[in-house]
Structure 1
Amino acid sequence: MEKQFNTRSMIFTLFGDYIRHYGNVIWIGSLIRLLQEFGHNEQSVRAAISRMYKQGWVQSEKRGNKSYYSLTERGKARMEEASKRIYKIDSPIWDGNWRILVYTIPEEKRHLRDELRKELVWSGFGLLSNSCWITPNPLEEQVQNLIEKYDIAPYVSFFSSTYEGMGKEVDLVSKCWNLDEVNNRYQEFIQEYSQKYVIDKNKLSKGELTDGDCFVKCAMLVHQYRKFLFVDPNLPKELLPEKWLGDSAASLFSDYYNMLNKPATAFFETVFEQGELSTTK
């Protein structure tokens, strides 16, 4: 089939949704076989996993002449956080406080700014003003991990406080996040995948989808939905617009995922077990 997503992103999806639940270790041969289902060749898989290794997401291990890969502690923590947000049922409960992170990173460490910015956006922080980031969610642990990871404790101040104005808290939200744009993206997701859901439900009931088909469709569904982690700050209900579509999108995702999950997992296990068996030969 035609390749639609980059190899590295698909490897993250497979680790997050499958491999980490199966001992967190996979033989490179099995990974290559799984990625073939999405149109990725051996060379692109090896190049992507090598890049992930250099970035500290995965670690490698040799057993005989075979290479195995697993998530590092950093990789496991990221997958765990992503999973909680992808499969969440409700918006977080708000305690009424805002967390504020301010940093003054010196010029000689400016390469850290872009990295830190990406991490903060991914975690759901919004930029209020230059180097001042806010979130209503209790992300103290994530902040502490970032400070340790980038070794920037001397340059960071972190506060928890209430908003005293001037204006309403929804106005504060509009300064930091473009929720209309996020809502439009949810609408597009719902339009596209509600149609696909009906079609695939019908095909599945007629036995017209193989386990391999379901594996590809399920992984692509997760992969597409996972993109919202980079744009949706996961705000409490009190701070969301009236006609927020995030919950409807989450419900559709959950129904579609649950429909495909069993046959998709069966396919994954077949390839995964074949890899395990091949190591004894």
Structure 2
Amino acid sequence: MLESPLDLDETRPPARRPGPVRGPSARAYLLIVLGDYALDRGGSAWTQTVVDALAMVGFEEKATRQALTRTAAAGLLTPHRAGRRTRWQITRTGHEYLTAAKHRLFAPGPEPDWDGGWLILLTNVPEHHRNLRHQLRTALGWAGFGSLGPGVWISPHPTHATEARQVLDSLGEPVHGTLLHARLDDPDERHQLVTRAWDIPQLDQRYQEFVDRFTTIRPHAPGEALAHLAHLVYQWRRLLLADPGLPPTLLPPNWSGERARHLLLDRHATWLQQATTWWQAQQIGNAAGP
């Protein structure tokens, strides 16, 4: 199954057996950097530019080069040699992938109108197909579904039926599902359903932590702006992966998600101007290199 935009290694469900805690991946940050600086500026980047950019974020050169190789193997980049240097060109598939990711990252807030309709998905995955169960949970979570129990998923977005069918089809014959449409008009029962399917208080706290972290940051140089912007987008991406995009009527009062979204848009616009100065200077210097 192809990854959904933004859905990368460190956001997958945990393995059944405990293992070492995985931190942010260089590949996730690589795609963020490419989306901000290369996607709409020729669609390419020199290796050294990417290495230096991710070094400011905190990644060693080896990790960055591995991320480039893995991203190329996934069909999102193509390497072009220029003497001893390599220029990485975003492929058509990569362009579609990064464009979809940016649309999701910077999408407008939830629509205020909701007709009260629910989409219910009943799934059946054989017990011995544990990997498929993990993939199903990841993909349905990305699509905004919450779980009411084994094999029972709900979404307040009936229009996501097509996406749900695509998820089921992508996982193949072992996975079966049935889609139902329903209404629940009692406000108290609606909120009880939301409480069972999603941990909204925890998500609200995470949004507030995002606001607290990035409100006071003020980059003093273009390179600092690039590093802070990469962290900003990465943390926002993690929040979107956990956010089902519930209608406002199902959210608590003073929902911090909207404050976080406005902060993202403001900081991204401001820091991107500064950071682009650094990126373009690096690209020009590396293009003229030996």
Question: Helix, strand or coil for the counterpart of 2:283?
Answer: helix
Aligned to 1:68: 88
Aligned to 1:43: 62
* Aligned residues of 2:144 and 2:245 also touching (Cα < 8 A): yes
* Aligned residues of 1:147 and 1:153 also touching (Cα < 8 A): no
* Aligned residues of 2:126 and 2:175 also touching (Cα < 8 A): no
* Aligned residues of 1:182 and 1:231 also touching (Cα < 8 A): yes
TM-score calculated relative to the size of structure 2: 0.77
Which residue identity lines up with residue 269 of structure 1 in the other structure?
Q
Kindly report which structure 2 residues correspond to 1:95-134, keeping only aligned pairs within 5 A, or say none. Answer: 95-107=115-127, 109-134=129-154
The answer to whether structure 1 residue 259 and structure 2 residue 266 are counterparts is no
Which residue identity lines up with residue 31 of structure 1 in the other structure?
V
The answer to whether structure 1 residue 228 and structure 2 residue 239 are counterparts is yes
* Aligned residues of 2:49 and 2:279 also touching (Cα < 8 A): no
Q: CA RMSD in A?
A: 3.0
Aligned to 1:136: 156
Shift of 1:77: 5.2
The answer to whether structure 1 residue 7 and structure 2 residue 26 are counterparts is yes
In structure 1, distance between residues paired with 2:285 and 2:178: 51
In structure 1, distance between residues paired with 2:54 and 2:230: 11
The answer to whether structure 1 residue 16 and structure 2 residue 29 are counterparts is no
* Aligned residues of 1:25 and 1:71 also touching (Cα < 8 A): no
Percent of residue pairs bearing the same amino acid type? 25
Q: Which has the higher helix share?
A: 1
Shift of 1:131: 1.8
TM-superposition CA deviations, 1:168-226 (whole Å, max 9, x none): 21111111111101111122222222222xxx2xx7xxxxx222221112222112222
* Aligned residues of 1:28 and 1:69 also touching (Cα < 8 A): no
Which residue identity lines up with residue 175 of structure 1 in the other structure?
R
Aligned to 1:160: 181
Shift of 1:111: 1.8
In structure 2, distance between residues paired with 1:7 and 1:51: 10
Closer, same or farther in 2 for the Cα pair 1:111/1:71, shift >3 Å?
farther
Question: Helix, strand or coil for the counterpart of 2:216?
Answer: helix
TM-superposition CA deviations, 1:17-65 (whole Å, max 9, x none): 33322344334333223212223222111222334455x3634344456
TM-superposition CA deviations, 1:49-105 (whole Å, max 9, x none): 334455x363434445636253663x5555444433432332134343222223223
Tell me which moved more, 162-171 or 253-262: 162-171
Aligned to 2:203: 182
Aligned residues: 264
Aligned to 1:34: 53
In structure 2, distance between residues paired with 1:145 and 1:277: 46
Q: Where does structure 2 lack aligned partners over 5 or more consecutive residues?
A: 1-22
In structure 2, distance between residues paired with 1:162 and 1:79: 36
Closer, same or farther in 2 for the Cα pair 1:156/1:63, shift >3 Å?
farther
Q: Where does structure 1 lack aligned partners over 5 or more consecutive residues?
A: 204-208
Kindly report which structure 2 residues correspond to 1:83-94, keeping only aligned pairs within 5 A, or say none. Answer: 83-92=102-111, 93-94=113-114
In structure 2, distance between residues paired with 1:270 and 1:227: 30
Question: Helix, strand or coil for the counterpart of 2:252?
Answer: coil
